[in-house]
């Protein structure tokens, strides 16, 4: 026993004698790893070592800030786990995954990784579908190798046990530093100003490129909370309300063609619907959109300016249903998951007040973008998601658009009251890199790579099916004695390859780098076809361009309905600024501007104040106008019909018999 103890005593003495050296090695590791991590994650996201080194050397203060934040993350994790190598491996993994997600998001939709993306659940699988690409796999392999290499240092570095109190102090200091930069405390603000940090919230891709991933991500934490506009007050809202009253903006325009009879109003937001024939230097074996092209000649039609590209469908819903604008919210934010946690006035609650049954229909699962809960807050009576479709036809990967049209007809036919329906389809959701329909009926010719050609043909097949599903509805309601209006449009342009491959190869845009597009190209990449049809007389209108947030006000005017306060303001603004995005403003003459002209800034500020009042403020507007509409609560018994059906179906599938018959759908 004595012989066995001697080596341990010597080892213990050696460890004690080398304690200062072990501490120096540990500190060297804690300092060097963040430097290497920042270079590594920037290389992963930028894809060019030359660009990474140029940024590191040319923007040294910004580089140092990124290193500092990475150091704080490493120290915080070390304070928890107590091992420098394990802490280093975890921080390397966290930063690497963040860089990988940011890289994939930029490639897909031109937006980096935001703090609020952490809230995404299964929605993140849209990005996960791209991890099979070569570039993504190389990055995943690099991250895994780096994590393993850092972890192996555990067997090389001298062991040092730091007192728990010291670790706790270090961890709290590191956590406070991260917090300070996240909320931008006065001291952190001074440091950022001296370092020359310029936060470009309206162009987040440029924000991340200039400031670095770690810094830009941290600075965006405070943007999770929308700041109160400097001009927001009861007095400013009262002035807007007075203008609405004085100018008669709420009043319906023209005479009512239906003499008070209430038509069904059916909005169809077709997933990724766009007109592929707009691509130059590309031809199709037949017209993929005969219905839409006919309606563009015969009926009210035009283009909507979408705040999204390639994804973020719920943000388009948010704009159309509420009349609010994504332009006043942090870039990349998702109102359905971040801000709609209480009743918000919308078209659904407006039509419900008129005696309509307001229903949402979506041919995908109800949890997506939290629609199950959000539709309740928006004033819908019911929400029919894919779980409530009975034996639906599936085409490609999802429920077919034709099945959705059949379901709309079924719901309207079985409902005594007029209906307001907001429909979101799913069939033509990406990706399109693998043929999903077998043999496509429409062939594409043009100067495209085989990969781009295949992708475009798959997308075009889905667009053709969407067009046919619209014709199905028209055929039905042409024979119906129920007055019905259909508003058909897409949510955003489709993702047709990384770096906007199809758009760049066809010449639709001059480059696959979104930050180099002209204003005209930005406009084209956000412009979605809009067509309307009704089985009653309605004057034909041509709409050159209209933001999604102004569509509701326009439809109410077409139906000769009095507009509530917020939609009345929308109509006034749309007459002067029909297009409004973060980085693009379109004036009434279709002139394009990177920022709002001085002549309309005050009106836009009124719009911002009213939106803040409704979503986050004290609801001053409700004390001046439309109190009942602006303060309406969720409908009692929201979605009771489908909740009962789901419960009965679950009971039947489990082999038990429900105690009572399920409630009728209507």
Q: What pLDDT does 108 receive?
A: 67
**Are residues 568 and 603 both part of a single domain?**
yes
CA–CA gap between residue 86 and residue 79 (Å, rounded): 11
Pairwise CA distance, residues 205 & 453, whole Å = 28
What total number of domains does the chain contain? 2
Q: Are residues 188 and 240 in the same domain?
A: no
pLDDT at site 260:
77
pLDDT for residue 21: 64
Instruction: Give the range among 334-343, 381-390, 580-589 with minimum mean pLDDT.
Output: 334-343
Asked if residue 376 and residue 477 are part of one domain, the reply reads yes
Same domain for 559 and 411: yes
DSSP state of 436: -
* Top mean-pLDDT range of 330-344, 363-377, 546-560, 647-661: 546-560
**Residue 320 sits in the same domain as residue 405:** yes
The arithmetic mean of pLDDT across residues 510-538, rounded, is 94
**Assigned token pair, 535:** 């089985």
Assigned domain for 647 exists: no
What number is the average pLDDT over the span 70-88?
A: 90
- Encode pLDDT of 25-67 as tens digits: 677 788 889 999 999 989 988 888 888 999 999 889 999 999 9
Structural domain includes residue 10? no
Q: Does residue 14 surpass a pLDDT of 50?
A: no
Of residues 116 and 39, the one with the higher pLDDT is 39
Domain assignment of residue 513, given as a range: 234-253+262-635
* Same domain, residue pair 154 and 270: no
Quick one: pLDDT at residue 645? 52
For residues 323-351, give the mean pLDDT: 91
**Average pLDDT, integer, range 648-655:** 42
Are residues 464 and 487 both part of a single domain? yes
Lowest mean pLDDT segment, chosen from 142-151, 290-299, 476-485, 586-595: 142-151
| pTM exceeding the 0.95 threshold for the entire prediction | no
Token pair, residue 188, equals: 């952190």
The pLDDT of residue 121 is: 53
* Domain assignment present for 198: yes
Please give the angle made by the CA atoms of 352, 554 and 476, to the nearest 5 degrees. Answer: 65
pLDDT band at residue 665 under the 50/70/90 scheme: very low
| CATH assignment at residue 367 | 3.40.720.10
- Does residue 239 lie within any of the structural domains? yes
Q: What is the structure's pLDDT at 278?
A: 97
Phi, psi of 543 (to 5 degrees): -110, 100
Q: Write the pLDDT tens digit of every residue in 569-604.
A: 999 999 999 999 988 999 999 999 999 999 999 999
Residues 390 and 470 in one domain: yes
Rounded mean pLDDT, 468-486? 96
Q: What is the pLDDT of residue 613?
A: 96
List Cα–Cα distances, 80 to 148, 218, 512, in angstroms: 20, 21, 43
Q: What is the pLDDT of residue 644?
A: 54
The verdict on 358 and 462 lying in the same domain is yes
Identify the band that residue 355 occupies on the pLDDT scale cut at 50, 70 and 90.
very high
> 543 pairs with which residues across the strands?
302
**Structure-derived torsion over alpha carbons of residues 336, 338, 344, 348, reported in degrees to the nearest 10:** 0
338 within some domain: yes
Mean local confidence (pLDDT), 395-418: 94
Residues 36 and 149 in one domain: yes
- Domain-embedded: residue 663: no
Domain match, 268 and 157 both = no
* Contact assessment for residue 399 and residue 153, using Cβ atoms and an 8 Å cutoff: no
The whole-angstrom separation of Cα 130 and Cα 135 is 10
Letter string b/e over residues 510-533, b meaning 16 or more CB atoms within 10 A of that residue's CB: eebebeebeeebbbbbbbbbbbbb
Give percent above pLDDT 90 in the chain. 59
Distance between start and end Cα atoms, the chain: 85
d(Cα 178, Cα 187) in Å, to the nearest integer? 12
| Tally of CB atoms within 10 A around 265 | 25
Is 483 a domain residue?
Answer: yes
Same domain? For 241 and 179 the reply is: no
CA 551, CA 394: separation in Å to the nearest integer?
31
| pLDDT(547) > 90 | yes
Residue 438's pLDDT is 85
DSSP designation for 621: G
Joined together, the tokens standing for residue 554 give 């326009």
How far apart are the C-alpha atoms of 233 and 138, rounded to whole Å? 53
Residue 2 counted as domain residue: no
Cα gap 73→176, rounded to integer Å: 11
């Amino acid at each position: 026993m004595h012989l066995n103890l001697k080596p341990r005593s010597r080892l213990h003495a050696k460890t004690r004698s080398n304690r200062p050296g072990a501490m120096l090695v540990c500190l060297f590791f804690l300092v060097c790893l963040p430097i290497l991590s920042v270079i590594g994650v920037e290389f992963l996201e930028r894809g060019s070592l030359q660009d990474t080194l140029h940024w590191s050397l040319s923007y040294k203060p910004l580089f140092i800030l990124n290193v500092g934040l990475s150091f704080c993350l490493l120290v915080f994790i070390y304070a928890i786990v107590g091992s420098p190598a394990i802490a280093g491996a975890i921080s390397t993994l966290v930063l690497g995954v963040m860089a990988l997600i940011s890289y994939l998001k930029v490639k897909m939709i031109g937006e980096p990784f935001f703090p609020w993306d952490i809230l995404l659940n299964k929605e993140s699988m849209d990005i996960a579908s791209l991890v099979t690409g070569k570039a993504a796999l190389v990055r995943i392999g690099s991250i895994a190798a780096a994590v393993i290499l850092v972890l192996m240092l555990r067997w090389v570095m001298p062991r040092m046990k730091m007192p728990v109190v010291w670790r706790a102090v270090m961890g709290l200091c590191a956590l406070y530093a991260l917090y300070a930069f996240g909320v931008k405390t006065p001291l952190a603000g001074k440091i950022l100003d001296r370092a020359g940090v310029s936060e470009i919230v309206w162009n987040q891709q440029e924000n991340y490129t200039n400031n670095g991933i770690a810094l830009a991500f941290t600075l965006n934490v405070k943007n999770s909370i929308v700041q109160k506009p400097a001009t927001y007050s009861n007095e400013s809202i009262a002035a807007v309300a007075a203008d609405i009253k004085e100018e008669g903006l709420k009043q319906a325009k023209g005479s009512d063609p239906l003499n008070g009879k209430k038509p069904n109003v059916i909005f169809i937001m077709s997933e990724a619907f766009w007109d592929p024939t707009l691509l130059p230097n590309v031809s199709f074996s037949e017209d993929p959109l005969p219905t839409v092209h006919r309606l563009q000649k015969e009926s009210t039609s035009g283009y909507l300016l979408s705040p999204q590209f390639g994804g973020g469908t719920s943000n388009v819903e948010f704009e159309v249903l509420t009349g609010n604008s994504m332009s006043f919210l942090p870039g990349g934010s998702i109102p359905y998951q971040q801000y709609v946690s209480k009743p918000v006035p919308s078209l659904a609650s407006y039509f419900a007040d008129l005696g309509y049954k307001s229903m949402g229909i979506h041919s995908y699962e109800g949890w997506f973008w939290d629609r199950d809960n959000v539709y309740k807050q928006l004033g819908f009576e019911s929400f029919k998601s894919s779980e409530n479709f009975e034996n639906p036809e599936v085409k490609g990967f999802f429920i077919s658009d034709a099945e959705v049209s059949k379901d709309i007809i079924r719901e309207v036919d079985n409902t005594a009251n007029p209906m307001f329906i907001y429909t979101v389809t799913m069939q033509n959701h990406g990706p399109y890199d693998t043929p999903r329909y077998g043999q496509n009926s429409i062939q594409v010719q043009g100067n495209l790579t085989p990969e781009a050609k295949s992708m475009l043909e798959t997308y075009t097949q889905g667009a053709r099916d969407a067009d046919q599903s619209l014709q199905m509805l028209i055929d039905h309601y042409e024979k119906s004695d129920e007055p019905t209006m259909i508003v058909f449009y897409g949510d955003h342009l489709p993702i047709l390859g990384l770096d906007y491959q199809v758009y760049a190869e066809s010449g639709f845009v001059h480059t696959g780098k979104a930050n180099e597009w002209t204003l005209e190209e930005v406009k084209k990449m956000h412009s979605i076809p809009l067509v309307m049809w009704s089985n009653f007389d309605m004057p034909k209108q041509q709409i050159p361009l209209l933001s999604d947030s102004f569509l509701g006000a326009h439809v109410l005017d077409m139906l000769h309905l009095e507009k509530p306060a917020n939609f009345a303001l929308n109509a006034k603004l749309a007459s002067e600024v029909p297009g409004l995005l973060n980085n693009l403003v379109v004036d009434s003459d279709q002139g394009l501007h990177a920022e709002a002209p001085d002549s309309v800034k005050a009106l836009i500020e009124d719009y911002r104040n009213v939106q803040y009042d409704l979503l986050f403020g004290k609801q001053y507007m409700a004390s001046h106008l439309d109190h009942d509409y602006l303060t309406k609560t969720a409908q009692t018994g929201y979605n009771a019909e489908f909740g009962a059906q789901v419960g009965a179906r679950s009971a039947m599938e489990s082999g038990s018999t429900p105690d009572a018959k399920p409630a009728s759908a209507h």
